[in-house]
Structure 1
Amino acid sequence: MQTKLSAPPRPQIRMSAPKLLRNSNVKVQARFGRVAVIAAVIVVWEVLTRLGLIDVDFVSTPLAVAVAFVEMLGTREVMTALGSTGGNILMAFVIGTAVGIVVGTVMGLSKTLWQAYSAPLLFLMSTPKSIFLPIFILLCGIGSTSAVVFGAFEAAVFVTINVAAGMALVEERHMKVARAFKASWGQTILTVVLPSALPGIFTALWFGIRHAFIGVLIAELWASSDGVGGLIRVYAEQLHTDKTLALMLAVTILAVVAGTIWNHLETRLTKWRQTSASGAATTTATS
C-alpha cells in the first residue's frame, strides 16, 4: 500500500521539464518582442526625422541622442547631477521606507487602526501626489530638501499600504503558538510576523524605491536647480532636445537596472517560501 500511495508524485516530476521549456520559450519570445518593438520605434523615428516630417529642433534624431548620450557620460556636469539625484533618492527612500514600515506594521496588526485609517490612506494613494508639491516647497523651500521630503512622503504612502497588506499574511495559528511559548513582542515580530509578511514587505520596498525615485525627480523638475531634474529643465529651456532625451535615457536605464537587480534579490531571498510551498504540496499529494 505504501508503494501505491507514493506513486502519484512521479508523473509530476516527468512533466515538469516540458513545462519549464515552455515557460523559458515564452520568456525568450517576450524579450524578443520587446526588443523588436523598441527597434521598430527607433527606425521609424529616424526615418521620419530624415524625411523632415518631424522637426529636429523640437524632437532630435535617435542618432543625435545616442551621440549626446556618449558625450554626456564623460561630463562633470552630468555626473554631478546624477550623484546629487542619487543621494536625494537614497535619503528619500530610507526616510519614507522607515516611516512606512513602522506605520504599516502597527496598522496591519491592529484591526481598529486599519478600519479607522485605511480608507484615507487608500484615497491618498490614488491621488496624484504632485498636487501637494507646492506645500512642500513652501515648507522646505526650493532645493534638495524639498525634493527629499516630497520623495519620502510619496514613498511612505505606498510602503505603508503594502506593509499593512503584508501583515494579513500572518496566520493566527502562528501567533497563538508564539503566545503559547510566551514569546516576547520583539521575538514575535522577528520570528513570526516578519517572515510571514516578507512578500508584502518586499513589494513595499520596491514601491518605496519607485516612488522615491519619481517624487525626487518631479520635485527637482519644479523646485530645484540641482540634480537630474533641474538639468533636464535647463536643457529643455535651451532647446537642447538631444541632451534632454539623452539624460532621460540615462535615467531610464538606471531605473531598469535597479528594477532587475531588485527582482533577482527578491527571488533569492524569498526562495525558501517557494520551496516550503512545493514541499507542502508534495506532502499533501502523498498523504
Structure 2
Amino acid sequence: MSAAGVKAAPGAGLAGARTLGGWARAHERALLGVLGVVLLLAAWQVTAALELINPFFISSPKDVAVEAGTYLSSPQAATDMKTSGLEFLLGFGGALVAGVPLGVALGWYRRFDALADPLVTFFYASPRIALTPLMVVWFGIGLESKAVIVGTMAIFPIMINMSTGVRGVDRQLIDVGRGFQASGLQTLLTIALPASLPSLAAGVRLGIGQALIGVFVAELVGASAGAGFTMNQAGQNFQLNLVFVTLFIIAGFGVVLTLLLRRVERFFTKWEV
C-alpha cells in the first residue's frame, strides 16, 4: 500500500490537539513565566540595538551572553562560585539551625516570647547591612565574618515565620492531643510542628533571598573573590556586561532554590489546617 493510501485514524488530530492543550493548561504558570522572560529579553535587545538608551548605561542580552561564556570559562568563575557558595551554605545553614528552634520557642512558650520579643523586634528593625564593618572587626575579614553576615540576614524570616506558624496552630487540634493525655512536648512534636511546616517552608524561601543579599554585602568588605566581589569590581570599572553576568548567576541560583522550596511547600500543604 502506498503512503498516499494511508489515512490517519479519525479523531487522531483532535485527540493530539486536546492532549497538547491539556499539557499547556497543566503547565500554564511555567509557560507564562518563560514567555515573560523572553519578552523582557527581546525588549532589552531591541532597546539596545536601536540605542534608545545611551549604550554607556545599558548592555544587551547578546553582549551579556558573550561575556558569560568568557567569564564562565575562566578560573576566576570557579573561584567565585566556590567562595560565594561556601559563604551561603555556612551562613544560611547556621540561620536554619538557629532560627527554627528559636522560632518554635517564640511561638510555643508564651513567657519566652514576652522575654525575647523586644530584642527580636529591635534587631529585625535595625539596619543589619550597616553592621557589616562591625562584623568584620569582630570576626575578621575571612570566611567567618561573611558567614555571620549571611546568617544574620537570613535568620529573621525563618525565625518569624516559624513562630507565626507554631502560634497559629488550630487550638482544637491541640485540645484533641491533650484529650488523649499527650504531654506538652508530644503535642508540640506531633501536632504543632507538622502543622507549621508550610510556614517554615515560606520562611526558608524568604531567607534564601535575604541570604543571597548577605553574600553580596559580605563581599563588599575585605573580599578577594566571590560573585559579589566580582560584580562590585566590574561596576567600579564600568564593565556592564560582567555586572549583568554575575547578577544573573546570583539571581539564578536564588530562583532555582526558590523553585525547589515551592515544591517542598506544596508537599507539606497537606499539614495545613
TM surpasses 0.5: yes
What is the identity, as a one-letter code, of the residue corresponding to 1:227? G
Using the alignment, how far apart are the partners of 2:153 and 2:116 within structure 1? 17
Q: Which residue of 1 aligns with 2:270?
A: 272
Residues 122 and 161 in structure 1, CA contact (< 8 A), matched pair in contact too = no
Residues 96 and 155 in structure 2, CA contact (< 8 A), matched pair in contact too = yes
Residues 194 and 271 in structure 2, CA contact (< 8 A), matched pair in contact too = no
> 1:171-220 deviations in whole A, cap 9, x for unaligned?
33443444454445543332122112212222222223222222122211
Using the alignment, how far apart are the partners of 2:270 and 2:130 within structure 1? 42
Using the alignment, how far apart are the partners of 2:80 and 2:61 within structure 1? 23
Using the alignment, how far apart are the partners of 2:35 and 2:177 within structure 1? 54
Identity %: 24
1:1-287 aligned within 5 A = 25=25, 28=28, 34-122=33-121, 124-268=123-267, 270-273=268-271
Call closer, same or farther: CA 1:41–1:200 in 2, change over 3 Å.
closer
Call closer, same or farther: CA 1:187–1:33 in 2, change over 3 Å.
closer
Between structures 1 and 2, the one with greater helix share: 1
Deviation at 1:54, TM superposition (A): 3.6
Residues 144 and 224 in structure 1, CA contact (< 8 A), matched pair in contact too = no
Using the alignment, how far apart are the partners of 2:247 and 2:130 within structure 1? 23
Secondary structure of 1:221's counterpart equals coil
What is the identity, as a one-letter code, of the residue corresponding to 2:109? S
Secondary structure of 2:66's counterpart equals helix
Call closer, same or farther: CA 1:203–1:185 in 2, change over 3 Å.
same
Call closer, same or farther: CA 1:215–1:234 in 2, change over 3 Å.
same
Higher mean C-alpha displacement, 94-103 vs 212-221: 212-221
What is the identity, as a one-letter code, of the residue corresponding to 1:242? N
Secondary structure of 2:45's counterpart equals helix
CA RMSD, 1 decimal: 2.9
Using the alignment, how far apart are the partners of 1:42 and 1:177 within structure 2? 55
What is the identity, as a one-letter code, of the residue corresponding to 2:137? L
Residues 195 and 271 in structure 2, CA contact (< 8 A), matched pair in contact too = no
Deviation at 1:258, TM superposition (A): 1.3
Uncovered stretches (5+) of structure 1, i.e. residues with no partner? 1-20, 278-287
Residues 81 and 227 in structure 2, CA contact (< 8 A), matched pair in contact too = yes
Using the alignment, how far apart are the partners of 1:94 and 1:128 within structure 2? 22
Using the alignment, how far apart are the partners of 1:37 and 1:201 within structure 2? 29
Higher mean C-alpha displacement, 131-140 vs 144-153: 131-140
Higher mean C-alpha displacement, 208-217 vs 79-88: 208-217
